[in-house]
Amino acid sequence: TITPTKELPAGDVTAKATDPAGNVSEPSVPATATKDNAVKDPAVTPVVDPSNLTEAEKAKVADEVKKSNPTVTDVKVGKDGTTTVTFPDGTTAVIPSGDTVKKSSDNAVKDPAVTPVVDPSNLTEADKAKVAEAVKKSNPTVTDVKVGKDGTTTVTFPDGTTAVIPSGDTVKKSSDNAVKDPAVTPVVDPSNLTEADKAKVADEVKKSNPTVTDVKVGKDGTTTVTFPDGSTAVIPSGDTVKKSSDNAVKDPAVTPVVDPSNLTEADKAKVADEVKKSNPTVTDVKVGKDGTTTVTFPDGSTAVIPSGDTVKKSSDNAVKDPAVTPVVDPSNLTEADKAKVAEAVKKSNPTVTDVKVGKDGTTTVTFPDGSTAVIPSGDTVKKSSDNAVKDPAVTPVVDPSNLTEAEKAKVAEAVKKSNPTVTDVKVGKDGTTTVTYPDGTTAVIPADKAVKKSNPTATDVKVGKDGTTAVIPANKADDKSKDADGVKDPSVTPVVDPSNLTDAEKAKVAEAVKKSNPTATDVKVGKDGTTTVTFPDGTTAVISADKAVTSAEQGSHGVAPAGKAVTSAEQGSNAATPAKKAGAKELPNTGTADSTVAMVAAAASALLGLGLAGRRRKEDEEA
């Protein structure tokens, strides 16, 4: 084969060969030039009528031609099967009908019952199935049925031959599509539907017209539906919407968030709270990922608040992880644990305005701009070593709901005795005590394990200023009686300057106070002699300066009876203090009420008798 280098003239041609040395061969025998495009015969297609091919048969012929001539750019099949092909260079070739078609065996296709469809130019799969079924009924021997988009149907017979039934014989346009009215949707403003309103209307329309392919709802509720055949129908607004009860959604306060396109659950909760505040009658609030919020009113109507009205980007607040707090149970933090976590969070995030610690240590912080951030529990707490707190000895107190500082100190001391390894003890107002271990973990001792009410059954004896005595049985005692109520005045101590006691004078006053109040646990004497006495129950009493000291210059020949201080105003009296003024404010409990009264009365009588006898004796001596 010789490939020509230029276009050859028509007719016979000869060829010569030239070698590299320039020698030219003798001319070849004349031959007819063959163009580069040689058409190849296709497989022959059997057809019902070779002189009148159907479109389907023509398509089959064309397919076969393309298979045997893949480079052709165009194939045209004539009515009788004669086929013209076009090559890339624009040249053409003709394949005679005898090389493309042949008469098939005598298979006569029968037209089926015509199938009504919505869109004859665009059958649905259901339409095609119905057409195929009709074709099989009229042609029970066919082995295959293929229904095209427009209803054109190709059937295959047992011998492999095919026949085509044109669309006009298989389908026809069905009657017009009748739209069904939807359930009416209540909306706030029927003349200006929200996007949420429109979505609800569209849902209702689709429910009543499930075959529609598209639903467009207008501003006033007028709705256009599209059917599978492309036809449309309009549902007037009066059939789609109605005015709901007067629900006007109010925009909430805008919530600043870290990422407005991806709200955290905490962000969503905050948005929902703000929406509920501005719309207290809503029954449901759903906040989307980007802050778009849908509210539902009591009548079932809804409204949508766009994200731009609910959230905004906060300033760049980056939460910093705190020091991890060791706790006994990371899944169930105590209040003390939570407080410690909060403290650690505040240290690492000093600008936060609020810290909320959850049961498992998950912590939500709020920044000055109102934005929030969540610190997961794994970054706030860890399980501590196994520190088991031991209950202390119970401390009796006057008021278990309101401990004094002295009582708290006593509780702390008892706790330290039973838990010597603790590094810190904090006693609350009601006795609830938090201890801290060397590893930083904490434990809480409940109030009832730390304190109890003191002397709940003691009989109370009160002595009045005039010496009268009242005995209160245990079942009527004042629940709030205090040891301090029984403070006894000391012997009066003479001092050089009652307004400015020396340390030695203070010591003397303290000694006198301790003698008259032997149960006192602490005595503090002030500069002017005012003395504060602390009792075992933690209560305190103050002895005024005039009952503790007197000026040494005044002199005193009187004897102050035990338990009664002589004031400077009383100096110069040589008479002994009457017994009715002697003694403490309260006498110690010595038994039943009756016996106590008797004892007090007897003691008073004896002292009075001794005082009178002594006075008479002195008068007799002076006489």
Share of the chain above pLDDT 70, in %: 78
pLDDT tens track for 452-494: 998 654 444 444 545 444 444 444 434 445 677 788 999 999 9
Q: What is the mean pLDDT of residues 191-196?
A: 90
Instruction: Show the tokens assigned to 30.
Output: 């004349």
Residue with tokens 């165009």: 74
The structural domains of the chain, ordered by start, are: 115-173 (3.10.20.890), 185-243 (3.10.20.890), 255-313 (3.10.20.890), 325-383 (3.10.20.890), 395-453 (3.10.20.890), 460-607 (3.10.20.890)
Q: What is the mean pLDDT of residues 346-374?
A: 90
What confidence score (pLDDT) does residue 374 get? 83
What confidence tier does 62 reach under pLDDT thresholds 50, 70, 90? very high
What's the CA angle centered on 58, arms 53 and 64, to 5 degrees? 130
What confidence score (pLDDT) does residue 389 get? 78
Instruction: Show the tokens assigned to 209.
Output: 């017209």
Element holding 523 (H helix, E strand): strand 522-525
Strands (E), 133-239: 144-147, 153-156, 162-165, 171-173, 185-187, 214-217, 223-226, 232-235
0.85 exceeded by the pTM? no
pLDDT tens track for 78-135: 999 999 999 999 999 999 999 998 887 656 788 888 887 778 899 989 889 989 999 9
Separation in Å, CA 493 to CA 34, 512, 534, 572, 592: 150, 8, 20, 15, 36
What confidence score (pLDDT) does residue 8 get? 55
| Long-range contacts of the stretch 477-484 (C-beta < 8 A, 24+) | 479/453, 480/398, 480/399, 481/398, 481/455, 482/398, 482/535, 482/537, 482/539, 483/398, 483/454, 483/519, 483/535, 483/536, 483/537, 483/539, 484/533, 484/535, 484/539, 484/540, 484/541
The residue among 594 and 130 whose pLDDT is bigger is 130
* DSSP state at residue 507: H
The residue among 555 and 339 whose pLDDT is bigger is 339
What confidence score (pLDDT) does residue 227 get? 85
What confidence tier does 328 reach under pLDDT thresholds 50, 70, 90? confident
What confidence score (pLDDT) does residue 585 get? 40
Whether residue 531 contacts residue 515, with contact meaning beta carbons closer than 8 Å, is answered with no
Whether residue 275 contacts residue 295, with contact meaning beta carbons closer than 8 Å, is answered with yes
